[in-house]
Amino acid sequence: MSDIMQLKGGVYLIDRTASPLPLLGGTLVARLASVGKYKLGTASQIGRKGNGSPSWGRINGNWIEMDATFVELTENFMKVVTNQRNSGTDFSPDPSVYKDGTILTDQNYTALVIRDEDSPLSYPALYIPYCYCIDNGFFAFRDGELMEGCDLSIVSVHYDRNVKPYEWGDITGFDGYEEEGGA
């Protein structure tokens, strides 16, 4: 299983509504430096009838959670960190739109692909169509003027029942990939 996160290259914002899906295009937001950990899981629910042992269960969806370090950040990286609420260098979310308990829509999630920049068809890629940043931390240079890198913890959200929560491996096998969608 350790091979699953042997990714290299860039992190790109993708327009998940485009056809063909621009898995070889997108907007560069950062470069992947290292993957700290990842978790794959299935959200499930178990129930019982009466006081007996569990008698039914259901799958609510699969997910991937990844902690990684990114370097060479662009201003578009803030869209990932703030979950589409801000870009540029502004960390602060817009308080008039986002309140406690707000249910997120598809515009709040980021579609990301992590793939090799030089030869994307030669290395595994990771595509997360509905990605949500649950934690982040910046490392700053000593003078505080430039950002050196950022640790992010992101999780896939099974927002659309007709879309896989993540895809990993040969990018040509991903749903929505078409040859003419190239770089």
Question: 89-140: per-residue pLDDT in tens?
Answer: 666 666 655 667 778 888 889 999 999 988 888 888 999 999 999 887 766 5
Other Cβ atoms within 10 Å of 34 Cβ, number: 13
Residue 2 maps to a domain: no
Amino acid in position 109? Y
Residue 10 lies in a domain: no
Please indicate, yes or no, if residue 7 is contained in any of the structural domains.
no
Is 21 or 1 the better-scoring residue by pLDDT? 21
In the chain, how many domains are there?
A: 1
Q: pTM of the prediction?
A: 0.80
Confidence of residue 1 (pLDDT cuts 50, 70, 90): very low
Give the model's pLDDT for residue 5.
57
pLDDT one-digit tens code per residue, 142-178? 344 555 678 888 999 888 888 889 998 899 999 888 7
Would you say residue 99 lies in a domain? Answer: yes
Assigned domain for 101 exists: yes
Closest CA to 127 of 161, 88, 87, 154: 154
For residue 49, tell me if it sits in a domain.
Answer: no
Q: Counting Cβ atoms within 10 Å, is residue 27 exposed (0-12), middle (13-18) or buried (19+)?
A: middle
End-to-end alpha carbon distance in the chain = 30
Full domain range(s) for residue 107: 15-43+59-181
Determine the pLDDT at residue 11: 93
pLDDT at 2: 43
Share of the chain above pLDDT 90, in %: 16
Judged by average pLDDT, the poorest of 17-26, 55-64, 91-100 is 91-100
132 vs 51: which has the higher pLDDT: 132
Three-state DSSP state, 80: helix
